[in-house]
A and B are shown apart, each in its own frame.
Chain A
Amino acid sequence: MFSKLALRNVRRSFRDYGVYLLTLTFGVCLFYTFNSLDGQGAMVYLAKNGNPIVEAIMMIMDIFSVFVAAVLASLILYADRFLLRRRKRELGTYLLLGLSQGQVSRLLFLETGLVGLISLAAGLALGAAASSGMSALTLSMFEIDMSGMLALTFSPRAAGKTVLYFGIIFLLVMAFSGAQVSRAKLIDLIHGERKNEILRPRPLGVAVLQFVLGVLCLAAAYAILLLFGMALAIAVPFLCFPMLGLGTLGTLLIFRSLSGFVMKFVQGRPGLYFKDLNVFTLRQWIGKVHTTYLAQTVVCILLLLAIGITASSLGLNATLTAMTDGDAPFDITVQNQSGDTELIDFDALLRERGIDPEGALAWRCDALFYYNDEAVTGYENANTALRVSDYNALMARQGKPAYSGPLPSEYIVFGSQISTGNLGLDCTIIPDEMAEQLEPRRQVWSADYAGEIKGETEDRLLQLIWPLSERLSLRVETRLSIYADMMGSKILALFLGLYLGFTFLLAAAAVLALQQLSQGADNTRRYAILRRLGAEEKQLKRSATQQVALAFLLPLVLALVHSAVGMKAANDIIFSVGKVDSAASSLITAGVILVVYGGYFLATALACRRMARNA
């Protein structure tokens, strides 16, 4: 009988449960996706190559999963409390009808369990889809051909872990709801809907003062950040704490006083003040500010974290990619550091082992670096010399212009631009015929593989070259190995950023949505009065939407301003390391935030409009 009642309750209050279910499902999906990383393409590739970073990444993800689970647990408990508050009357009626508190607790227990099961199943299904989507995203980021790894995979380990963590969370929630019911007094439950918060009038002049003060605080915080730069502002405590303190205080003051400030402004303009339901909408905003400004500040900071972390992890990722490409212009570079004693004939070596250099390689260049003799070249600064024809061949392959200055060049080329991996040499460019007067120092053989079977070609080449290192001092660097090294750090930065960013975003959006919904429920009585006064449906709905929009947009706008300043400071650091692709990463961030945050906004606005209509 209880399970039937529980089932019916969940079905009937699906609208109430809507945001709750959405949050649970997103939470489960997020948790599963980032715990199933080991099954995803890029990680499989890394693991196959025996890269130790895979284990490190999984360990860090494990640690942060505990943190994320704690955040989600608080969120779910908050949502549950909100639901219980809305159902006080119903629960009171059960008690009045003679059900024992234990029985009502059991009913709630069943309901929570049912909702938990539904959201777990939905979240895992969504998570499987999301994880293959992320697999495709990361694979495309690393430009590695792994069409075979794109299949939809399901990780039982991650699923098990998700079920375990969320099982514990749901048990907590069940215990919590049970405790709430057994502690509550019947009279409070029955009259639960009548209690109103006490409004205290606050002079608008004070609000204006607070607003100006808030703006000043923010300006000071921004000035510290931009003046000293991000590295200094964060590392030095007597800069860091005032900056964070002023920023938080400024945000707090602005949220607390903005409505009063706007009201003061609007009151001076009767055309605006007395237009439609503006008075009502503004007063609603002011009336709720003192219960919501703290939450809005927290939401604003969560959004800032979400935007900042996501944008900078994507931005850093783009930077790392650019750096990798600069480090690895060719598929492979073999440096024969014993070039002064013995030179390798690579073509002959390949043919000897049955590899056709013309067929297997798309391009190859055997360049000799000579000892620089000041008497011949006229320069003492460079430690080697390179023939201009070799230099031009290396440049041409990268699509860069040939050398066209005077020979021998004053211009000193640093080794990393003309080979994959670091050469550790600098050189002057000399006319080809001048080389005959110089002693060879190092042989640098670079090549690009032909066709799509790059990995296979590389394996064969490496097998061939390694035996030589017994008598020669060789250094072999390949683009694939550099990528694999870089990939680990990139994946870590990217995944950790996305994981935390999404968690914060989800938390922020859900908190706001629940708060607005509970206020919307309180507002139904007010809408009924307005309707009797003759307000049109359209006006009521618009007012409801405006109220939700104010709650959602204000923290977002302020968070965007904060993060624009923060990104400016952060970019200055990344800029000093390499180039930044911040436009693209900002766009992706904006898109993601729009989808998640916008989804919550839409769901909330629709629900509040419905409440206004049914009032």
Chain B
Amino acid sequence: MSEILQVTDLKKVYGKGGSLTRALDGVSLSLEAGEFVGVMGPSGSGKTTLLNCVSTIDRPAAGSIVIDGREIGRLKGKALARFRRERLGFIFQDCNLLDTLTAYENIALSLAIVRAPARTIDQQVREMAELLGISDCLAKYPYQMSGGQQQRCAAARAMVTRPALVLADEPTGALDSKSSQLLLDRLEALNRELGATILMVTHDAFTASCCRRVVFLQDGKLFLELHRGSDSRKVFFQKIIQVTAQMGGGMADVL
């Protein structure tokens, strides 16, 4: 399997002088094509910073990020925008659909931005909507849909351009458990059926348990890595809970 994402010794520092905060302190990570990886860690552990750096929204202080064979630190302006729209897909916690557009248009817009041939857009949108189970609300505006539908619509928007890497930032953060389950189910299906490579940040153990591999961050450093292997989801979930209890946020010092 080919390597999609290669993060090497990534560092990111906020502030300066005495009040220096190391958000990322030498993180290395590698994802192969078709992997579904979760990133966990308490608040302030640097998971969002990692995701922002990988998604080219933020620039690291040191280290390198190679996505699909390209060193993204060297990309600028137009080339960066082009890379972003052709190689990356995003799913966010607050789903970030454009509220003025219908679900259909939201999905179609990301195809329009990558300049897909206009004739094929309709078919691609409908196929992806079918996969995510939102075919019946394509004509609706975001606020007419439930949170779960919105989030699946956002997932469809991220996937429809067939990006090399999908980045998800707390995708279930704002959803009730049933909607979460449905979304995760669909993400797994996309990962299985389309071979999509997904990097998902979450602080929810249940959400993380659907990944094939979970990476734990603490204080900007890689703390531990868990492989699901042949475990059932329930067993994997228990393992994750144990690790989070060990880390325990700032409580680790007390225990």
A residues near B, CB below 8 A? 196, 198-199, 201, 270-271, 273-280, 283-284, 286-287, 526, 529-537, 539
What are 5 of the A-B contact pairs (CB < 8 Å)? A199-B99, A274-B121, A275-B118, A283-B101, A287-B99
Q: Inside 8 A of A277's CB, which chain B residues have their CB?
A: 109, 112-113
Task: State whether A279 touches B105 (Cβ < 8 A).
Answer: yes
- Please tell me if the beta carbons of A284 and B100 are within 8 angstroms of each other in the complex: yes
CA separation between A278 and B81, bound complex, in Å? 18
Interface residues of B in 82-131 (CB under 8 A from A): 82-86, 88, 90, 96-101, 105, 108-114, 116, 118-119, 121-122
B78 within 8 A of A: yes
A270 & B118 in contact (Cβ 8 Å cutoff): yes
User: Within 8 Å of chain A (Cβ to Cβ): is B238?
Assistant: no
Q: Which of the residues A199, A279, A531 comes within 8 Å of B141, measured between beta carbons?
A: A199
Q: Chain A nearest CB: distance from B75 CB in Å? A: 12
Binding site secondary structure of chain A: helix
Q: Is the pair A532, B112 in contact by a Cβ cutoff of 8 Å?
A: no
B57 interface hit (Cβ, 8 Å):
yes
Asked if B96 contacts A199 (CB within 8 A), the reply is no
Q: Is B223 part of the binding interface, using a Cβ–Cβ cutoff of 8 Å?
A: no
User: Would you call A535 and B85 a contact (CB within 8 A)?
Assistant: yes
* Alpha-carbon distance between A532 and B144 when the two chains are bound, in angstroms: 24
B113 touches A534 (CB 8 A): yes
Chain A neighbourhood of B77, CB < 8 A: 537
Write the nearest CB–CB distance from A280 to chain B, whole angstroms: 6
In terms of DSSP, what is the predominant structure of the interface of chain B? helix
Task: List the 8 closest A-B pairs by CB distance, nearest first.
Answer: A534-B85, A270-B118, A287-B100, A534-B84, A274-B112, A283-B100, A274-B118, A536-B81
A529 CA to B84 CA, complexed, in Å:
12
Looking across the interface, which residue of chain A has its beta carbon closest to that of B86? A534
Q: How far is the CA of A347 from the CA of B109 in the complex (A)?
A: 91
CB <8 Å contact, A199 and B100: yes
Which chain A residues border B100 with CB–CB below 8 Å? Answer: 199, 280, 283-284, 286-287, 526
Docked Cα-Cα span, A196 to B101, in Å, equals: 15
Q: Which residue of B lies closest to A273 (CB)?
A: B118
Establish whether residues A279 and B108, one from each chain, have CB atoms under 8 Å apart when the complex forms: yes
The verdict on A283 contacting B98 (CB below 8 Å), with A201-B144, A535-B113 known, is yes
Residue of B nearest to A525 (CB): B96
Residues of the B chain whose Cβ atoms lie less than 8 Å from the Cβ of A283? 98, 100-101, 105
In whole angstroms, how far apart are the Cα atoms of A252 and B171 in the complex?
Answer: 43
Cβ-defined contact, A533 with B109, below 8 A: yes
A286 to B55, CA, bound (A): 32
Which of these, B83, B109, B157, contacts A279 with CB under 8 Å?
B109
What's the least CB distance linking A608 to chain B, in Å?
Answer: 16
CB-CB under 8 A from A280, the residues of chain B are: 98, 100-101, 109
With contacts A275-B112, A283-B105 known, is A534 near B98, CB below 8 A? no
List chain A residues, Cβ under 8 A from B85.
533-535
- When distances are taken between beta carbons in the complex, the residues of chain B under 8 Å from A531 are 81
Q: Nearest Cβ distance between residue B167 and chain A, in whole angstroms?
A: 10
Task: Tell me whether B101 and A533 are in contact (CB under 8 A).
Answer: no
Q: Which of B84, B111, B157 has the most CB of A within 10 A?
A: B84
Q: Which of B84, B108, B113 has the most CB of A within 10 A?
A: B113
Known: A280-B100, A534-B113. 6 other contacts (CB 8 A): A196-B99, A274-B108, A526-B100, A532-B90, A533-B109, A535-B81
